[in-house]
Structure 1
Amino acid sequence: MTGRTTLITAGAAGIGLAIAEMFMARGDQVIVCDVDQVALDRAATKLPGLVAIKADVSDVAAVDAMIAQAGPISVLVNNAGVAGPVGGIETNDPDDWARCFAVNVHGAFHTIRAVVPAMREAGTGTIINISTASTVTGLPGRAAYIASKYALEGMTRTLARELGPVGIRVNAIRPGFMDTERMRGIMHRIADQSGRSVSEVETAALGYISLRTKIQPAEIGEMAWFFASDAAHHITGQIIGVDGNAEWEG
């Protein structure tokens, strides 16, 4: 056992669950939170010993209660995120826009704010924020999501400076074209809207990626593990793409 306690938000499925599985297999005590109780129950069954807590990170009281239950956190992975409104900026519903920031930005703020005091006291800690490769390419029709992830990256760089003197490292990962149920759903939606097959949509998307590849959730887990490891003890303020080099998005 590493003696560390790792908290992963939105950790009951997808990328979050892949990170949880990897960190548990390598000796961390792992806590995940999610808003989906069914997914939490499924994750807890799959990974005996996993601590699964239902919590919405946009709710500061829920986050504070979760951290009070969990105790000191050594590694925080801010994975929680919502897609936000899709379509031209003039069609975006203000409430949907606000909800996107409430989860993607304010949720990360709430969790970081809650775990930093114990990290500061310990003189060490690792915070890993999950962004997106789309902050590099831009993505028309997804202004809320991209703006929220830019904010998360700005928070990453600033907190690396703020918290570095007390031994806390802050980095971010930009996942690319993920091989997940969520991405498959997006591909099906685009196919339906454009009158193309899913295969045609995926091939077109991969044409903008240098390595022409989808990314497996475990690959994000590996980068998160590296950031949390002793091998990265002098790495902070960095934003690394695990995306096959996303050149552009059509």
Structure 2
Amino acid sequence: MSNKAPDSAAQFLAGIEGQRVLITAGASGIGFAIASTLAALGARIVICDISDEAIAEAKRALPKLVACKADVADEADVDAMFKLAARELGGLDALINNAGIAGPTGAVDEITPADWRRCIDVCLTGQFLCARLAVPMLKAAGGGSIVNMSSAAGRHGYAFRSPYSSAKFAVVGFTQSLAKELGPSLIRVNAILPGIVEGPRIDRVIAARAKQIGISHQEMERRYLERVSLRRMVSPYDVASMVAFLLSDAGINVSGQSLGVDGNVETL
């Protein structure tokens, strides 16, 4: 990376063109925003998702996209996905561990062990399963980047969403541990902590919580936004912009960080 200041935004985000990137849950929402942003900057992209319909829509929007159906909590699916990435990309420069689920909404004594395990399996163990296969490829490339998706719930306790919050706190610890472990191999590892991201997923979360406490969806949304300093949701493309920064030359010395993209969520 040059010590000279960039002359343009394009130069600021230099280094992404030609990167080989694997994005989990990349067919919709934040994942698709990341895929489309990096593709526009010249990256070569492989995604996975669990929805055939979402994959088809993503491929229509980004014809050069390579996609497969995979559940990141399933070891066999993850193995097959990495074999596809190795075959199609010839290596790997970045892993975006984006896949996650909202998990159950309920008091701790109302949550079933099966729902707890499924949330932890997808939101945390899935990141481990992907990282363990990505690291040898990143080392072979001479370094690279891992971006793990945490959440504002990985910084604040989240009543009635304990499986999700627990998993997202653990993602931060996983990130910091890997940053120390992999730094000597020139692999940067960071976590992004989105806040209230506009879209169908947060609509479902708000609806579930509103139903639980007996208020309207509109009132529940108002209460959520009262806890955000900027009093607004963030866009999936706000998160994608942070990923682009981390993968670019501008982020070459950023590692081990937990970066909020949340309008400053004050509490949950």
Query: Which category describes the TM-score, using the shorter chain as reference length?
Result: over 0.9
- Tell whether 2:22 aligns with 1:7: yes
What is the match of residue 172 of structure 1? 191
Q: Name the amino acid aligned to 1:160.
A: A
2:168 alignment partner, one of 128, 149, 159: 149
**Contact 2:105–2:208 under 8 Å retained in 1:** no
Point out the more displaced range, 41-50 or 230-239: 41-50
Equivalent residue runs for 1:37-116 within 5 Å: 37-71=52-86, 72-116=91-135
Counterpart residue type for residue 188 of structure 2: R
Equivalent pair of 2:147/2:192 in contact (CA under 8 Å)? yes
User: How many residues are matched?
Assistant: 249
Segment drifting more, 167-176 vs 79-88: 79-88
In structure 1, how many angstroms separate the alpha carbons of the residues matched to 2:84 and 2:106?
Answer: 40
Looking at structure 2, the residues matched to 160 and 11 of structure 1 have their Cα atoms a distance apart, in angstroms, of 23
Is the counterpart of residue 226 in structure 1 residue 241 in structure 2?
no
**Once the 2 structures are TM-superposed, how far is the Cα of residue 195 of structure 1 from its aligned partner?**
4.2
Distance in 1, Cα, partners of 2:66 & 2:255: 28
Q: Percent identity?
A: 43
Task: Single out whichever of 82-91 and 235-244 deviates more from structure 2.
Answer: 82-91
Alignment equivalent of 1:136, drawn from 134, 147, 155:
155
Structure 2 gap segments, 5+ residues each = 1-15
Q: Is the 8 A contact 2:24 2:47 kept in 1?
A: yes
- Which residue of 204, 211, 214 corresponds with 2:233? 214
Correspondence 1:2-41 to 2 at 5 A: 2-41=17-56
Mapped partners of 1:84, 1:195: distance in 2: 20
Report how far residue 212 of structure 1 moved: 0.8
- Per the TM alignment, residue 122 of structure 1 is displaced from its structure 2 partner at its CA by 2.0
User: After superposition, what is the alpha-carbon deviation per residue over 1:36-90, rounded to whole angstroms, capped at 9, x for unaligned?
Assistant: 1111111111111111110111111211111112112211111111122221112
Aligned residue for 2:76, secondary structure, equals: helix
Confirm or deny: 8 A CA contact 2:155 2:169 kept in the other structure: no
State the alpha-carbon separation in 2 of the partners of residues 192 and 57 from structure 1: 30
Distance 1:91-1:99 versus aligned 2 partners, 3 A rule:
same
Partner of 2:261: 242
Name the stretch that deviates more: 180-189 or 205-214: 180-189
Amino acid of the structure 1 residue aligned with 2:26: G
Q: CA deviation at 1:102?
A: 1.2
Take 2:158 and 2:214, find their aligned partners in 1: how far apart are those partners? 20
Output the CA distance in 1 between the equivalents of 2:23 and 2:238.
16
Question: Letter of the aligned partner of 2:45 in structure 1?
Answer: V
TM-score (norm 2): 0.89
Q: Tell me if 1:160 matches 2:175.
A: no
In 2, Cα distance between the equivalents of 1:159 and 1:206?
Answer: 33
